[in-house]
Amino acid sequence: MARRLTALAEEINRLFPLLVATIDKGHCNTDRKLSRGVSHRGKGRWGNRLTVRWRHLSTLDPGSKVFEHNSAETYRRNE
């Protein structure tokens, strides 16, 4: 069984002192595109998002992001 994102974040923070891992709420829409520009609205999915950044860079710097995993996306697994 795959490990929880919170357990992965705790382990990353413990093993890699130069990185910081955070857990946020994640959302993914499930809208579908139909023919001729018409779309069908989906209800969306909610889940957790694991974000890993360099500790010494600002969170606003786009180069600080190392990895991002949104478990709300379709067919995403924590493995």
Query: pLDDT tens digits, residue range 37-46?
Result: 788 888 888 8
CA-to-CA distance for 52 and 14, rounded, in angstroms?
A: 13
CA 55 to chain centre: 18
Cβ-contact 32, 44 below 8 angstroms? no
26-35 average pLDDT score:
82
Q: Give the mean pLDDT of the chain.
A: 85
pTM, rounded to two decimals: 0.75
